[in-house]
A and B are shown apart, each in its own frame.
Chain A
Amino acid sequence: MRPALVVLAGDLFEASRPRLIDAGCAIEMVHAASLVLDDLPSMDDATLRRGRPALHVAHGEGNAILAAVTLLARAFGLLAEAGLHARRGGIPGSLALDLVSRLADASGLFGLASGQALDLATDETGATFDRLETIHARKTGALFVASAEFGAVLGGAREKELGAVRSYARNVGLAFQIVDDLLETRGDAGETGKSARRAPAPTFVRHVGEAGARTLVAELTQHALDSLKPFGKRADLLREFAAMLRDRKK
């Protein structure tokens, strides 16, 4: 999903497809690493992921940690190599550094790692609406935003265009997470493909109810669509993407 967002955002600015694929791969590797780490017994202690045994269940905790580290290293390595091979269809050096910097933020202090740290530190009583938003903004939203920015940056988007794409991704990212909450509330592990032994974190549904959560999803998605107005029909695929995330059943 995140690589798709990289490509769709890049297409909006007619970015080079090979560069988008490199960037999308880097994003997906970071995302995959985060899933592996989240599932560990010291974190969410999940046994099922995407309908299959979690990595540490299938191959052991040590291998899972090493796999995650390898994915992270490979993600940054991929971007660095693309920068080194700019003349052969890679990414120009300064752009590659820009992407590395954005990915570092999205996966570290301002993204996945700090979001997970907050998640672990938050019990049911501490999970206020704002804390929940902060956790989601970092665990989910940061990589969504980075994905859209990757595409836009590679396409040479101007500051204002970058802002519009960022606004789109930020609102879609939160809508995506609230849909996740809704599915978890109503579905079982078979449908969501996830199961965790750790007590599940409170969700937006608990704070605003199912109807409220659905309304927020609709409003966030609509706001995301509004952000695309300056691009006209060129952004139709991104619109469909947002609608798809809103309407997904699993």
Chain B
Amino acid sequence: MISLDAARERLRERGYLERGVEGAVLKGALAARTRTRAFLLGASTGAAFLAGAVALAQTVLHAVSSALPLRDAAVLFLWLFAGAAAVASLVVLALVLLALLRARVRGDAEEGSTEIAVAFGVLAGVAGILAARPALESAGVPAAAAVLTAVAFAVLIAVRVARGLAFTVLAASGRLFVTRPSRTFLAWALAGGTLVLVGISAVLFRVPVVGDAPLVVAANGRRVVVVGVDGWTASLSGEGARASYVKEARDPAAFWTTVATGESVKRHGIGSLDLVRVAGVGAPVRPLAGARWYLRSVLPALRLARRESVTASARRVPALWEVASRGGIPSLTVNWWTTYPSEEGGGTILGNHLFFAARSGGALAGEGWPADAAERAARLAPRVAPEPGSLERLVADAGGLDDFALAAFRDAWRREGPRLALLYLPGPDILSSALADPERGAADRVALAAALTEETAKLRAFLLDPGLAPAPDLLVDVLDAGRREEGGIVRLSGPLARAGAEATLAPADLAPTVLSVLGVPASREIAGRVRDDLLAKGAVDGETVASWGRRRVAAQLPIDPKEYVENLRSLGYLR
């Protein structure tokens, strides 16, 4: 005996009481006059359902991750459906072939449709969890529920499409001698599949402990300066500790955000310079796994989307300066990657657009915090620039950015005397990247090499003697080899550095190490670890805290102003 509900369900799966996905898939296929037409009808209906389910799930993921309003999400769904339809067609084709193979290998095709559906369901479930993971990490409870519901719905539809399609193929192939497995087997299969999915989820998800309680900081009065030099390939002598590292990502925004947060790219959310603005969708979209290639490559190639640079609003975890600020430590951040828009809560910030905004005489809103600090720094920027697109412009920008950042940094250091300061100097990377461009002529290369030599000498002088008063207790020079290279070195100097120490480190270790020196307990939830082997004895006390707290992604992701994006392009950061 079976229950009435089970009987209904089985009849629906076989084309009666036409409801549900299988009913829709079967309806056309069973009516077909030829086998080929039956395959085509079943496959096209199945592909349409699958594409709709995948597009819906992806839309929810992107809407949550990028905080899209409902209208934008609806338009995005249409675009994603177009891409999903192509993928679904291939998946359905594979399912049809699998079902045909299954029918051929075992003539009676017992349990065929269920076997295929269960296998496909497990695959779809794993893919769904992997796709949902980034969105879940930044989502609140309601959004996470929406994401999980959408993914579960998509998996359910995928299973039903697979089952309906397999049944269609078996029916249309004239080899339909199907009996379904006992309910017990099916129940065990589903329970096993669910356990596998839960197990994978448990391994993949690291549920962070969220806490925004005030940090208890040991008051030690120390000062730490972190200088990031991009594109540094020269040697640099000096006392102190040295450590080499290999980058997780070459993308400068991703790497320098890892340095500033102590987190992996996946956790901090700045995985690329790019957001995508899709035609008809007002807000920019952060491409996620599953639709990344489609949104970042296919649609832009078709001129249906364009790529935009990412801003600080996309960062999901607090940066050094924000943690320090929560602990009551005054900080200064100059020209660091993705510091636009600059906001309250992170000490003094002179953002990474400020140079360009100041040079063009444009508005300074969001370019620094507080506003008077940004205005004061803006006066240090040059007011004229060579012709856009010219080699002179590129050289002037590379050197000008460093000069401006150094001048603004020195001025603010002297005025404010912060205990934590970060300075980013991009000049060598801009010049060396241009030098590596195979399309440049010999004359350009000679000019670039000369400029690079000059820039390196200028920065070497600063690194060897920053001339800061009061002098920092720890100076951390992050000398990255540039966007084309895999790694770099870190040099630690000053009274708190362990002289002569040599090691390798992860770039994520820098943030907790620097904060520990300032008396901030290390967060146990982040990827980075305090590297006391590079510090003088007693420099850190080993205190930890569950979390430094989280940083909510803004409701709307502001994109960089168009002028800045053009500058990024001219400097070779954006293609």
- Which residues from chain A sit less than 8 Å from chain B, CB to CB? 101, 109-110, 114, 118, 126, 128-131, 133-134, 137, 162-163, 166-167, 170-171, 174, 204, 206-209, 212, 215-216, 219-220, 223
Contacts and interface: CB of A to CB of B under 8 A. Distances in A.
Given A130-B10, A134-B178, 9 more contacts: A128-B180, A130-B14, A130-B179, A133-B10, A134-B14, A167-B27, A208-B7, A216-B8, A220-B17
Interface in B8-64: 8, 10-11, 14-18, 27-28, 31, 33
14 contacts: A110-B174, A130-B179, A131-B179, A134-B177, A167-B27, A174-B11, A174-B16, A215-B4, A216-B11, A219-B8, A220-B16, A220-B17, A223-B16, A223-B18
Looking at chain B's contact residues, the main secondary structure is loop
A208 B11 contact: no
B40 to A, nearest CB: 14
Nearest to A101: B33
A129 B11 CA distance: 9
Contacts of B7: 129, 204, 207-208, 212, 216
Interface in B233-270: none
A208 B1 contact: yes
Contacts of A219: 8, 17
B2 interface: yes
A163 B10 contact: no
A166 B16 contact: no
Interface string B166-189: 000000001011111000000000
B157 to A, nearest CB: 22
Contact of B10 (A129, A170, A171): A129
B385 to A, nearest CB: 67
Contacts of B14: 130, 133-134, 137
B17 A171 contact: yes
Contacts of B33: 101
Interface of B: 1-4, 6-8, 10-11, 14-18, 27-28, 31, 33, 174, 176-180
A171 B179 contact: no
A18 B574 CA distance: 76
A223 B7 CA distance: 15
Contacts of B177: 118, 134
Nearest to B6: A129
Contacts of B18: 167, 223
Contact of B16 (A118, A128, A170, A215): A170
A233 B437 CA distance: 77
Contacts of B11: 133, 174, 216, 220
A212 B5 CA distance: 9
Given A129-B2, A207-B1, A216-B7, A223 B17 contact: yes
Contacts of A208: 1-4, 7
Nearest to A223: B17
Given A110-B174, A134-B177, A170 B15 contact: yes
A91 B432 CA distance: 83
B31 A162 contact: yes
Contact of B180 (A110, A130, A223): A130
A38 to B, nearest CB: 20
A163 B27 contact: yes
Contacts of B31: 162-163, 166
Contact of B4 (A131, A163, A212): A212
A114 B175 CA distance: 10
Contacts of A134: 14, 176-178
A171 B4 contact: no
A174 B10 CA distance: 13
A207 B14 CA distance: 17
Contacts of A170: 15-16
Contacts of A204: 7
Top 9 nearest A-B pairs (CB, nearest first) are A128-B179, A212-B4, A131-B179, A130-B180, A208-B7, A130-B179, A223-B17, A109-B174, A207-B2
A137 B14 CA distance: 10
Contacts of B27: 163, 167
A133 B11 CA distance: 8
A209 B178 contact: no
Nearest to A110: B174
Contacts of B1: 206-209
A166 B28 CA distance: 11
Nearest to B34: A101
Contacts of B28: 163
Nearest to A222: B17
Contacts of A209: 1
Most buried by A among B4, B6, B10: B4
Contacts of B15: 170
Contacts of B3: 208, 212
B44 to A, nearest CB: 15
A114 B178 CA distance: 13
Contacts of B10: 129-130, 133
Nearest to B180: A130
A119 to B, nearest CB: 12
A110 to B, nearest CB: 7
Most buried by B among A204, A209, A212: A212
A229 to B, nearest CB: 13
A134 B174 CA distance: 12
B87 to A, nearest CB: 29
A113 to B, nearest CB: 12
Contacts of A109: 174
Most buried by B among A130, A170, A206: A130
Contacts of A223: 16-18
A206 B2 CA distance: 9
A138 to B, nearest CB: 9
A212 to B, nearest CB: 5
B31 to A, nearest CB: 6
A70 to B, nearest CB: 27
A25 B241 CA distance: 100
A218 B27 CA distance: 21
Contacts of B4: 208, 212, 215-216
Contacts of A131: 179
Nearest to A206: B1
B16 A171 contact: yes
Contacts of A137: 14
Nearest to B176: A134
Nearest to A173: B16
Contacts of A133: 10-11, 14
Nearest to A167: B18
A134 B177 CA distance: 8
